[in-house]
Structure 1
Amino acid sequence: MKKLIIVLLGIGFLQGCEEVIDDFDKGCTSDCTTVNGVFVTAENVPLKGIKIEVDYNTHVDHSYSTRNIKKAVTDEQGFYDLTFFAKDTELGNGGPGTFRLQADFSVLDTTKYMVPDRVFMYGNFNLSRRDTVLSKAFYVPRKAVIKVSLHNFVPQQPGDKVVVSTFFPSGGKVDDGFLDTDYNTGAHTVAAKNVLNQTMDLFAAAGETNIVRVYRVKNGVSSQEEIQLFIGPGNPVQLDYDF
């Protein structure tokens, strides 16, 4: 029996413990930190009803603690504002944890938008002082479908393949992104099946300029081609390629 108790205690120790502190209802009247921004889609149309929250996560040895600090919902203009009080122990880079800002997109129609399940918009970040304002805009692309037809796909040797990718604006604002846009880059990739003639559906951003990239390996030799393609609303796009 003693051996069993020791084993159970050991398992509990390895699993650690997790504590969740709910401070959502606590306000801030002075010396506050503010995180704000806007959610938009194509043509800067605002997105209403997206849930945003900020929390503080601590990980010490085998113990985990999360302080739920503030939550908000985007308004008619797609704007959100999180104003909260950071504790002394949460300031500086040498603290036991980090802040995290996340968004829940479940209000959006997945047939109309390319919607992530949940996005950590800032990842983990620290605050050196309380009277700080952080702004984070976020772009959610409207969904379009490009039909890519591949003809005469006959692999000659192992490793021969065709991979088609689309790249489009998606995510938070960046200073120097892959595309000519203010926002980060999303992507969708489909690999060809071992079928002679086939059509692949790739997601792209409606109302935006997308990059379509075709990567081939034929007879062991790789090649790549890409085009820029603007997709207007309601315009079906069909592309044809030979292996």
Structure 2
Amino acid sequence: MENKLQNYIQKHILRHLTKSLILFFSVTLFTSCFVDDDTNEICTEDCTEFKGQLRTEDGRPIAGADINLEYTSSHIFLSAVRRIATTTTDKNGFYKILAFLRDNEIEKGSNGNLGLYFDVNQISNALPNNYLKPKTTFTSNGRVIDAFKAKVFFHQIYNRDTILENDFIAPMKGKIQIKIDDFTPIVENDYFYATIIYDYSFLNPVWEFRQSRDYNSIRLINKTSNFVFNYETILNGDTRINIQKSKNGITTYSDTIIKLSSPNLTTIELKY
């Protein structure tokens, strides 16, 4: 009797283990990402031209930045990337790519994205300190995510024989000092939150960042003091200070928009 029971248990476990392995390999197989690298191919006819310049707001070229042209498509349990071409900006910050686009990459209703990409790390390393460097990491649910890729998507191209020109412009850096006066909670759980928001790509309407709006937050809870905070932000563009506070148990919201025109430190006083 004991042997029969053991055999039954072993067969039961083996059957479920086999099913689990089949499911694991099926999911792995059918949720794969395929990469097709065509960057060594040279376009000789019916070429689409992508060109532009990477530079700072005041015209300083950003040299040595890698630019990649890719087509990404997604299906159920499957994604595919075609690396079409790559180049590097020259000493004057200019780039040019000649590429042959496949029919499915330009046809109407395509289920993929054709885009130019560059690594924000390279831009950050190339910029002197008087320019605002883009953040190369951000935090999501406590995890630090790797460098952003700036990108521009071409949602529809009707003809291969087309020239598409897109510049990227890095902004100058401004500095703000925020003073919060008289933060004195009246009841328990009174608080003061201020979020400093700016759009790093405000000079580049076609370029998109993984996190196009950069921000810093001030959070004061159950403390009594005056506080001073220093931040970097964009020059010549809008910086929004979003304020949420609870005073005597009553919550209010407000926005303040500033535009810095000088790289010198600008002081802003906020009242609780």
Output the TM-score relative to the length of structure 1. 0.79
Question: Are the equivalent residues in 1 in contact too, given 2:120–2:150 (CA < 8 A)?
Answer: no
Cα distance change of structure 1 residues 187 and 97 upon mapping to structure 2, 3 Å threshold? closer
Highest Rg: 1 or 2?
Answer: 2
State how 1:21-32 maps to structure 2 within 5 Å. Answer: 21-32=36-47
What are the ranges of 5 or more consecutive residues in structure 1 without an aligned counterpart? 176-184
Query: Paired residue for 2:243, among 215, 219, 225?
Result: 215
1:188 equivalenced with 2:207 (yes/no):
no
Query: Paired residue for 2:183, among 132, 142, 153?
Result: 153
Question: Are the equivalent residues in 1 in contact too, given 2:179–2:227 (CA < 8 A)?
Answer: yes
Question: Are the equivalent residues in 2 in contact too, given 1:100–1:120 (CA < 8 A)?
Answer: no
SS of the aligned residue for 2:161 comes to coil
Superposition CA RMSD, Å: 2.9
Query: Paired residue for 2:100, among 74, 85, 98?
Result: 85
State how 1:75-224 maps to structure 2 within 5 Å. Answer: 75-107=90-122, 108-109=124-125, 112=129, 113-116=132-135, 117-123=147-153, 125-157=155-187, 158=189, 160-167=191-198, 170=201, 173-174=204-205, 186-194=213-221, 195=223, 196-206=225-235, 208-213=236-241, 215-219=243-247, 220-224=250-254
SS of the aligned residue for 2:220 comes to coil
In the TM superposition, residue 104 of structure 1 has moved relative to its aligned partner by 0.8
Question: Are the equivalent residues in 1 in contact too, given 2:180–2:226 (CA < 8 A)?
Answer: yes
CA–CA separation in structure 1 for the residues paired with 2:175 and 2:105: 45
CA–CA separation in structure 1 for the residues paired with 2:203 and 2:215: 17
Corresponding pairs, count: 232
Q: Which residue of 2 aligns with 1:12?
A: 25
What are the ranges of 5 or more consecutive residues in structure 2 without an aligned counterpart? 1-13, 136-146, 207-211
CA–CA separation in structure 2 for the residues paired with 1:159 and 1:86: 58
CA–CA separation in structure 2 for the residues paired with 1:121 and 1:94: 21
Cα distance change of structure 1 residues 144 and 61 upon mapping to structure 2, 3 Å threshold? same
CA–CA separation in structure 2 for the residues paired with 1:77 and 1:111: 16
The amino acid of 2:198's aligned partner reads: F
CA–CA separation in structure 1 for the residues paired with 2:26 and 2:67: 33
Q: Which residue of 1 aligns with 2:4?
A: none
Q: Which residue of 1 aligns with 2:49?
A: 34
More helix by share: 2
Farther off after superposition, 27-36 or 5-14: 5-14
In the TM superposition, residue 142 of structure 1 has moved relative to its aligned partner by 3.5
